[in-house]
Structure 1
Amino acid sequence: MSVLQTNGLTKRFGQVEALSGVDLEVDKGEIFGFIGPNGAGKSTTIRILLGILKATAGEATIFGQDVWHDAVKIHKRIAYVPGDVNLWPNLTGGQVIDYLVHLRGQKVNQERKQHLIERFQLDPTKKCRTYSKGNRQKVALVAAFAADCDLYILDEPTSGLDPLMERKFQELILEAKAEGKSVLLSSHILSEVEKLCDRIAIIRDGEVIETGTMSDLRHLTRTHLYVETEKTLVLPDQGIHEWKETDWGYQFQVDREVLDDVMQAIAQAGVTKIESAPPTLEDLFMRHYDVGEGDV
């Protein structure tokens, strides 16, 4: 059952086409990863889903309702956490949490709120102007998960958090999934996306170029191998990357389509040791973008 769906979503700013026919579908109880470099169209897509921007063409629905015309109804059932949170400087963190929950027309579950505050080690009595970036993110996360929502839209939600708090966040996301909640997670922390997400969409230049589970997408990635052999190892000319010969053996990456030929060549050389590392989401991401200038 789809909770969020876009069909042919397009957004133009004058002559610039920021989105070009984006198709997404997030199911109930699913954690859906949305990744791409800066300027790829992630935040524009999210702003349309939140009813902040109006799409030029295409459709976008949440809970079967139009994100532009039914934004008020939709927002009662969703929570949004941006990557750079701005809060009211003269309110305390606790006051902001209460206010954001009330905006959805809900009563604050004080027990749940207190549990989250303790979990994220947040001091809710301090004025927001005194908070660091990480603490501002904690306020937004507590406010989001203190509310009873069916969909969480998270755009770089762990920006500014230390590794311990990132782990707390990941635990919280998995608990929400176990309760049947849905999550759209946009993140540059690829290990986080890989660990949490059921499916992933990769967006580039306003177009979704790949969608699927990690298993579906691994055909686009390379397997990392370290091999020691009795004889000199001779491999096929095609499909071998990042070749490095060490004092003891060979390190390289191999495309999936030539993996069988490579394994036969290794066996013929008399393998004495072999280590294999599965391809990661980062491998997939880097291969798609060939980034090397700080895009990620």
Structure 2
Amino acid sequence: MEEIVKVAHLQKRFGKFQALKDVSFTVERGQVVGFIGPNGAGKSTTIRTLLGIIKKDSGEATIFDKDVWKDSIAIHEELSYVPGDVALWGNLTGGEIIDLFMKLHGGGDARKRDELIKKFELDPKKKAKNYSKGNRQKVGLIAALSVESELYILDEPTSGLDPLMEAIFQEEIAKLKAAGKSILLSSHILSEVERLADKVVIIREGQVVESGTLDEMRHLTRSQVILASEEDVSELQGVAGVHDFSQKGQEATFAIDNKEMNTLLGAVAKLKVTKFEVVPPTLEDLFIRHYEK
């Protein structure tokens, strides 16, 4: 697959504070990469480096095989960006700002713009100083989605949007992916990342602590099991890979390492099971696992 974004061993220091210690990941063509971590983890610093706003101290950062600092102008011709808090010109209307952003990018699709304004229920005639945070985000999203780009960098793009508008945003991202576009999505909404992302990169204290597809990462955590039987289930707590076992009557609740699932099934097959539920781990489970340590 063609690598649209390539980041390798990126480092950045602000005075004595090292914001980025070791950040490495790629975004391939047609791929949505979820970039997650709490405030202060280094997400925005990484994104600003990719945008050519700040200069890295060391490591490699390229987009379209071009250096993000030296070739930033050429890169931005094929890139759309939405920050987590869109700042607008207060005395211009939302529609005027969208048109300005589209012209600055080199054009855009007026029909797509009008369609998105309707979908996002934005009043384009209202002045920006009268917009809520959610409406400011809509202006940024509509402008970004109305132009033709190969890469979309979205830093908390749905901040301030209600669930209905988030669903519309997710529909539009799915269309971009189907069209072969690449998306780097930074978000605190883990369910959003889980629904959209092909790959997830978790950053903590300036370094990537885990990355991979959701299926790959789920092998590293545990599923939750609820099991009931006509027989005594207490013997299951001795099965390899079982953790946090609790029992109430003939029903047991516990976690199981995914790699030991076959071992568990072998033990369960010997029981007269009346209830057997397995809930796979979510992205939130993975996220919490890294940050509760």
Q: TM-score, normalised by structure 1?
A: 0.93
* Contact in 2 for aligned 1:244/1:250 (Cα 8 Å): yes
**What do you get for the CA RMSD once the two structures are aligned?**
1.6
CA distance in 2, matches of 1:131, 1:267: 60
Task: Structure 2: state its 5+ residue gaps.
Answer: none
- The one-character-per-residue Cα deviations of 1:258-288 (angstroms, maximum 9, x if unpaired) are 3333333333343221011111111111112
- Counterpart code for 2:110: Q
What is the SS of the residue equivalent to 2:124? coil
How far apart in 2 are the matches of 1:125 and 1:62? 36
Please give the alpha-carbon distance, in whole angstroms, between the structure 2 residues aligned to 1:66 and 1:37. Answer: 27
1:214 matched to 2:193? no
Counterpart in the other structure of 1:289: 291
Check whether the contact 1:221–1:280 (CA below 8 A) recurs between aligned residues: no
Deviation at 1:238, TM superposition (A): 6.1
Further displaced range: 171-180 or 251-260: 251-260
Residue in 1 that maps onto 2:124: 124
Does the CA-based 8 Å contact 2:35-2:187 persist in structure 1? yes
Per-residue Cα deviation, 1:84-125 (whole angstroms, up to 9, x for no partner): 111111110001101111112x22422111011011111100
Report if the CA contact (8 A) 1:23-1:208 is conserved. Answer: yes
| Count of residues in Structure 1 that have an aligned counterpart in Structure 2 | 290
Q: Is the Cα–Cα contact under 8 Å of residues 226 and 277 in structure 2 kept in the other structure?
A: yes
Question: 1:8 is aligned with what amino acid?
Answer: H
- Residues 265 and 108 (structure 1 numbering): CA distance in 2 closer, same or farther, change over 3 Å? closer
Aligned equivalent of 1:79: 80
Give the aligned partner of residue 226 of structure 2. Answer: 226
Corresponding residue for residue 271 of structure 1: 273
| Cα pair 2:226 2:276 within 8 Å, conserved | yes
Does residue 98 of the first structure (1) align with residue 99 of the second (2)? Answer: yes
Query: What is the deviation of 1:204?
Result: 1.1
Partner residue of 2:37?
A: 36
**Is the 1:219–1:256 contact (alpha carbons within 8 Å) kept by the matching residues of 2?**
yes
Structure 1 unaligned segments of length 5 or more: list them. Answer: 292-296
Larger deviation, residues 262-271 vs 136-145: 262-271
Does the residue aligned with 1:220 lie in a helix, a strand or coil?
Answer: coil
Matched, 1:65 2:66: yes
Which moves more between the two structures, 58-67 or 270-279? 270-279
Match of 1:195 in 2: 195
Q: Secondary structure at the match of 1:284?
A: helix
Q: Secondary structure at the match of 1:268?
A: coil
Deviations 1:173-204 (A, max 9, x none): 01011111110001111111111111111111
How far apart, in 2, do the equivalents of 1:39 and 1:248 lie?
46
Alignment partner, residue 109 of structure 1: 109
Partner of 1:169, secondary structure, is helix
| Equivalent pair of 2:94/2:128 in contact (CA under 8 Å) | yes
- The residue matched to 1:89 in structure 2 has which SS? coil
Give the CA deviation at 1:58. 0.9
2:59 is paired with a residue of what secondary structure?
strand
Bigger mean CA offset, 152-161 vs 259-268: 259-268
| Equivalent pair of 1:94/1:124 in contact (CA under 8 Å) | yes
**Stretch moving more, 10-19 or 157-166:** 10-19
| Residue 38 of structure 1, CA deviation | 1.7
Q: Deviation at 1:70?
A: 1.0
Task: Determine the structure 1 residue equivalent to 2:186.
Answer: 186
Contact 2:108/2:148, CA 8 A, preserved across alignment? no
For structure 1, which segment, 237-246 or 44-53, has the greater mean C-alpha deviation from structure 2 after superposition? 237-246
- 2:22 aligns to what SS in structure 1? strand
Q: Distance in 2 between matches of 1:47 and 1:229?
A: 55
**Poorly superposed stretches of 4+, deviation over 6 Å:** none
Note if contact 2:33-2:198 (Cα within 8 Å) is conserved in structure 1.
yes
Which residue type is aligned with residue 173 of structure 2?
A: I
**2:155 maps to 1:160:** no
Please list the CA deviations of residues 123-153 of structure 1 after superposition, one character each: whole Å capped at 9, or x if unmatched: 1000001111111110000000011111100
Q: Structure 1 CA distance, aligned partners of 2:258 and 2:238?
A: 13
